[in-house]
Homo-oligomer: A and B are copies of this chain.
Amino acid sequence: MSYYQMNENLSIDYLMKQGIFSETSNLTSREVGDGNLNLVFIVKDTLSGTSVVLKQALPYVRVVGEGWPLSVERTIFEANALEIHNRIVPNLVPKLLHRDDELALIVMEDLSHLELMRYGMMKMEKHPKFAEHISTFLADTLFYTSDMHMSSEEKKRLVAKFINVELCKITEDLVFTDPYYDADRNNINPRLKPYLEEVFWKKTELWLETSKLKYKFLTEAQSLIHGDLHTGSIFAGEEETKIFDAEFAFMGPAAFDVGKIIGNIFINYVSWSGKDEDVEKIQDYRSYLIETVKRLHRLFEKKFIENWKKDAQDISARVEGYRDQFMRNLFIDTIGYCGVVMIRRVHGLAHNIDVDGIENLEKRRDVQVKLLELGEILIMNRHQFNNIEEVTDMLRENIEGAKNL
Contacts and interface: CB of A to CB of B under 8 A. Distances in A.
Given A219-B220, A220-B219, A207 B319 contact: yes
B165 A153 contact: yes
Contact of A218 (B147, B205, B219, B326): B147
Given A153-B165, A219-B222, A212 B325 contact: yes
Given A152-B169, A165-B152, A172-B152, A219 B321 contact: no
A317 B325 CA distance: 28
Contacts of A219: 147, 220-222
A201 interface: no
B147 A321 contact: no
Chain A contact residues (Cβ within 8 angstroms of B): what range?
A: 35 or more
A181 B165 CA distance: 40
Nearest to A204: B320
Interface stretch (A154-162, A334-342, A392-400): A154-162
B152 A208 contact: no
A168 B153 CA distance: 9
Contacts of A172: 152
Interface string A202-230: 00110110011011001111100000000
Given A147-B218, A219-B221, A221-B219, A211 B322 contact: yes
Interface string A7-29: 00000000000000000000000
A361 B219 CA distance: 44
A77 interface: no
Contact of A159 (B157, B163, B208, B317): B163
Interface string A181-208: 1000000000000000000000011011
A233 interface: no
Interface of A: 147, 152-153, 155-157, 159-160, 163, 165-166, 168-169, 172, 176-177, 181, 204-205, 207-208, 211-212, 214-215, 218-222, 315-317, 319-322, 325-326
